[in-house]
Structure 1
Amino acid sequence: MKPLRHLTLANLLMGWVFGTAHAQKPIQKLIDTEKQFAAYTSTHSIKEGFLRFLDSTGVVFNQGKVLNGMDFYQKAPAKSPVLFWEPSFSVISASGDLGLNTGPYTVRATPKDSVIARGNFSSIWKKNNAGEFKLLIDLGNSYTETHAPISTVNQISLQQSFANANYDEIMTLEEAINQAIATKGWRSLSPYLHPSAHFNLPGKSPIITQKRVLEELAQLSNQATLKALNGGISKAGDFAYVYGSVTHSNKTTSYLRVWIKDKNDWKLILLTLD
């Protein structure tokens, strides 16, 4: 019996080591959920896909209006074009409860037809009590360029928690920045840019890296009024998102900004304007 007991213990230890080494990283689950969402939607319908993966509090944006996603898609027609997308960049909080995906999408009338529209999506996901990621935010921008195939997903897994960070702090920052943009222009974002910043702007393919974003900011019109509407922060206090409205030339659209903590400073990792 003694050798058997030793063998059983050895097997348990080997199983623990193997399981630990092969345990799915939180960011991989975030990426896989996005891919499952896209795969399900491409074989069913846009309506069915969103109703399956949306959180009950998730929101979508339509012509400058913020709408409850469930209500919007329950009223949507059952038959719709074929939408497909895949993540190219993902970020997740140290607590694993909030994350973002962004990447290209295409629209076809049917799976066999040619592409009739393309652009970039930005999504915010929240892990529920069952350990499943549910979609909180979906905002996209369109462009005409053909995107390159996605070979790998660039990833940032945050590692540090900030006990003193809170939602009010990020909203105060948002309000100050929006006031600065209204008076001094979009270059007011410059001090806050993360080196891996992603900007998704109307009519343009993704603008990536701090250098390219700075060049683009210099070209944006200063005549814009932004208003933060809502958002959230991770349990670790290292990841926050805010969405709001943008009024420019008597037209109102929406924006999404994602912030991450870097050495106790909030840095802008994503801006999407629809």
Structure 2
Amino acid sequence: MSRAWTVLPCLVAGVGPAFAQAPSLEPVLRAELAFARMADEKGIRTAFLTWLTEDASVFSPRMTNRKEQYGPEPGDPGHLVWYPEAMGLAASGDLAWSLGPWTYAVKKGGAVLVHGHFLSVWRKQAGGGWKAVADIGVPHAAPERPVEPFAIWDAAPMKRLTQSKGSDATPVLLRKEADLAAAWVEKGGLALLPELAKAGRVLRPRRMPLRDPAEIEKALEADRPGARWEPARIQVAAGGDLAWTCGESGPDDRGATASFLRIWTLEGGDWKVLFDVRLPHPAPPK
């Protein structure tokens, strides 16, 4: 059995001090763990159909929806295992994110074929429960050492920055996305650098999540210029401090296209990118 799964039962007990500061995050963690347990016990298809909203955005690597990805029978017979190493919550308590490692094997107990990291966006539902509204992941080599849960960020809410009552951040974020897309045409991935939050992270295939500024800059240099986009989806927390966007971009100057998901956070009164995930699409057959 994968070590990642053996961590799950002790996670809730293991982060007790953090929840003393942020009790409202615990339901999101419990939802994530229940999601992972269902995948272990009942399979990938059942778990994702249960824990993703009907309109959830998923990426493989092209952007699609829950039904198209997981609806057809019999579904993926493989064994998918994951756990959250870090989570964050909007001040309004209605939008959250989770980040962590995953592994994939052909069957339960089989050899791990692929390692990676996922980023999920969670939204509080009308009945008070939580479901994922977006899920994306990148594959990478096996880590040199096991990832420690909650080692990167504390399980605490985002800094409570709120907008005035009645304000809507959607137009502002659409302008930010448009400005970023325009800058990308000239600079490629380096256009993202001034838009990253202080704790901003970049996820790219074949790399562990990047935190070091020098490593981020080197990785972004590989993102070719010329890729334009408009977000296909945008959601903002009720408190106006956390949001996410996703869509598809391209073609770049070499004709390549990609899917993206970004999580935005208010920082010093300005919207900055907390996470940027980019999945290149396979080259079309010649």
Per-residue CA deviations over 1:100-126 (Å, capped at 9, x if unaligned) read 111111001122111011111111110
Per the TM alignment, residue 165 of structure 1 is displaced from its structure 2 partner at its CA by: 4.4
Match of 2:58 in 1: 60
RMSD, matched Cα: 2.1
- 3-state SS of paired residue (1:226): coil
1:147/1:60 CA distance change after superposition, 3 Å: farther
Of 223, 234, 242, 2:237 maps to 234
Per the TM alignment, residue 220 of structure 1 is displaced from its structure 2 partner at its CA by: 3.4
- Comparing 45-54 with 144-153, greater Cα deviation is found at 144-153
Q: Distance in 2 between matches of 1:137 and 1:109?
A: 24
Q: Distance in 2 between matches of 1:215 and 1:102?
A: 22
Q: Distance in 1 between matches of 2:95 and 2:135?
A: 14
Match of 1:12 in 2: none
Of 178, 184, 198, 2:201 maps to 198
Per the TM alignment, residue 85 of structure 1 is displaced from its structure 2 partner at its CA by: 1.0
8 Å CA contact 2:39, 2:46 repeated in 1: yes
One-letter amino acid matched to 2:259: S
Match of 1:264 in 2: 269
Q: Distance in 2 between matches of 1:186 and 1:79?
A: 33
1:252/1:188 CA distance change after superposition, 3 Å: closer
Match of 2:78 in 1: 81
**TM-score computed with the length of structure 2 as normaliser:** 0.81
8 Å CA contact 2:84, 2:101 repeated in 1: yes
Match of 1:168 in 2: 171
Of 127, 139, 145, 2:136 maps to 139
Per the TM alignment, residue 219 of structure 1 is displaced from its structure 2 partner at its CA by: 4.2
Match of 2:66 in 1: 69
8 Å CA contact 1:118, 1:143 repeated in 2: yes
1:26/1:70 CA distance change after superposition, 3 Å: farther
Per-residue CA deviations over 1:12-44 (Å, capped at 9, x if unaligned) read xxxxxxxxx969722232222212211110111
Gaps of 5+ in 1: 1-20
Tell me whether 1:254 sits opposite 2:259 in the alignment.
Answer: yes
What is the aligned-residue identity percentage?
23
1:250/1:56 CA distance change after superposition, 3 Å: same
8 Å CA contact 2:227, 2:257 repeated in 1: no
1:79/1:214 CA distance change after superposition, 3 Å: closer
Q: Distance in 2 between matches of 1:31 and 1:148?
A: 23
Computing the radius of gyration over CA atoms, which structure comes out larger, 1 or 2? 1
**TM-score computed with the length of structure 1 as normaliser:** 0.84
Q: Distance in 2 between matches of 1:127 and 1:218?
A: 37
Q: Distance in 1 between matches of 2:190 and 2:249?
A: 16
Per the TM alignment, residue 71 of structure 1 is displaced from its structure 2 partner at its CA by: 4.2
1:63/1:149 CA distance change after superposition, 3 Å: closer
8 Å CA contact 1:229, 1:245 repeated in 2: yes
Greater share of strand residues, 1 or 2? 1
1:165/1:263 CA distance change after superposition, 3 Å: farther
8 Å CA contact 2:116, 2:139 repeated in 1: yes
Match of 2:49 in 1: 51
1:214/1:118 CA distance change after superposition, 3 Å: same
